[in-house]
Structure 1
């Protein structure tokens, strides 16, 4: 397995961070990042959100390392240093939302060869929350799951929702699925949006951390999503909403000032997740792990406590697909 570039100059993670190239079953190449921890209690499988990349979670890996956990993260296809799957590499794109599961499968097959052992636990953010929920239905072998602002619905004005369905469906039908979604740009969000107006974090230091990464390594960046990505995402969120929650211990964080994903969908899902727990964090925005020091400490303490409580249990079998 070949080493991949890893930008340790900007990750601010624990020492020893590294990355590897993996290839999915359809030939798409992507990166797996790893922050080893000697004597780790378990390994956090960190599923990032749309536009994100391994190095963005260096500080999160450092927080987990301090609590005894190794962290691995993924550059999903179409973003970070993974193969871009659109004719315009600046846009976020996917052929089918199910393609992300090919990346998950390649990761799980590669972990033993890399000496990255369990027990495994899942932490999935935003778009990674939709991918992660689907992976749980496909029996991802984790002892427990944490979601932060999971993309189980997108926050859209009531009158815009039907328009998003119609436009995205029509664009794909006429072969225009790779055009930019309305209201977005081809530039990286953190370089195009002033801190005062951003929807990601209320903490200026963490916003500067993200901006510094985007400026130092522009090859990591993508801009807005294509119409194909929008349509595929809407379809997947609809399919997921029709399924009962899996039998996996779950903790979910929702920012009180969330404005990107649907808080209503998250509340509805967690209200019917057996034994699930929802933590609403007052004053936090979309990226709970990128908030102020107090919020971050609360988040990572709660994650570690949740994971610790379930490490001794076997992964729950989930035969539903």
Structure 2
């Protein structure tokens, strides 16, 4: 496949040197991937970001994995980061079908094979990336083990709001409203809209400042709330995945005890029926446990490395 050099904001990533590439998907969407090489790497981690995220956000994560001997690849999914946005208003997250993210992954995997990235390969998937990652494993993604953090195996909605969300998102498909913001969301990206106090992402002020600095220095990376159609596509995919058995891939899932963004019941259910899977609760953890206190992060990355070493 052909791929071309893409910009990468080293000034805010704060990780090892990275090489970014533009990749073209099978349906003609331009996405971006970043590779953090590591000399004599013990393997390569494929990092699946969550909704609103971008490759620079995982610069510090690349440093954590590099310290343990692993290279890393991260993806700007379609509709976010510097990848092609899917609607005219670039601040609204949108996708036509959740399977489209698998097309993004196919382009990245083709690049990984052509670049001969160090094997074995491993998956680390956060939030929406967890939903995409679960589908990828069921589609036989060639990784030896997988780690999930706050995975979107279900979307957190109140009992009262759930039928309304289904109705609004479903009906939007038949009108010129599918690109509009989902109820209760705004165009401003979360870290610029909310103060650190009682935020739902991290308990670490330095990490929150890190995320906020990336948004203020490079606003072209920013993304606000999802569209009504994204919500419908996500609800549909989560419902479909719920009916399927777990993959055979060895896995480890980290879930903060104060998780307030994804549906924790769905995570407990999935991991209870994953024979080779373990659920690890993170005391007082919020949604982004890989971006929490240095102590929490060190423990998580050490467990990731141990899992990967076991399945090398």
Fold agreement, TM-score > 0.5: yes
- 2:71 touches 2:118 (CA, 8 Å); kept in 1? no
User: CA shift at 1:114, angstroms?
Assistant: 2.4
Aligned to 2:204: 203
Q: Distance in 1 between matches of 2:42 and 2:161?
A: 46
Matches within 5 A, 1:24-39: 24-39=25-40
State the Cα distance separating 1:157 from its structure 2 match. 1.1
Q: Which residue of 1 aligns with 2:267?
A: 266
Q: Secondary structure at the match of 2:140?
A: coil
* Residue pairs, 1:233-272, within 5 angstroms: 233-272=234-273
CA distance in 2, matches of 1:197, 1:288: 15
Distance in 2 between residues matched to 1:114 and 1:44, nearest whole Å: 14
Question: Structure 1 residue aligned with 2:12, among 10, 13, 16?
Answer: 10
Partners of 1:50 and 1:27 in 2: how far apart? 21
Is 1:181 aligned with 2:191? no
Runs of 5+ unmatched residues, structure 1? 312-321
Q: Which residue pairs with 1:137 in the alignment?
A: 138
Q: Does 1:310 align with 2:311?
A: yes
Alignment deviations for residues 63-110 of structure 1 (CA, whole Å, 9 cap, x no partner): 000000000000000000000011211110001111000000011111
Q: Distance in 2 between matches of 1:140 and 1:113?
A: 16
Mapped to 1, the partners of 2:137 and 2:73 lie a distance apart of 17
SS in 2 for 1:208: helix
Provide, for residues 34-76 of structure 1, a one-character-per-residue CA deviation record: whole Å limited to 9, x for no partner. 1110000000000000000000000000000000000000000
Query: Conserved in 1, the CA contact under 8 Å of 2:42 and 2:70?
Result: yes
Further displaced range: 164-173 or 250-259: 164-173
Contact 2:41 2:118 in 1 (8 A): no
Matched, 1:93 2:94: yes
Aligned length: 310
Aligned to 2:216: 215
Write the distance in 1 (CA, Å) between the matches of 2:153 and 2:120. Answer: 26
CA distance in 1, matches of 2:116, 2:217: 31
- In the other structure, the counterpart of 1:78 is 79
Shift of 1:158: 1.2
What is the TM-score of this pair, normalised by structure 1? 0.95
**SS of residue paired to 1:178:** coil
| 2:152 equivalent to 1:163 | no
Measure the CA separation in 2 of the matches of 1:275 and 1:99.
28
Contact 2:124/2:147 (<8 A) preserved: yes
Deviation at 1:170, TM superposition (A): 1.1
Q: SS at the partner of 1:280?
A: strand
* 3-state SS, counterpart of residue 252 of structure 2: strand
Q: Distance in 2 between matches of 1:177 and 1:269?
A: 30
- Structure 2's unaligned 5+ residue stretches are none
**1:148-203 alpha-carbon deviations (Å, 9 max, x no partner):** 00000111111111111111111122231100111111111110111113111111
RMSD: 0.8
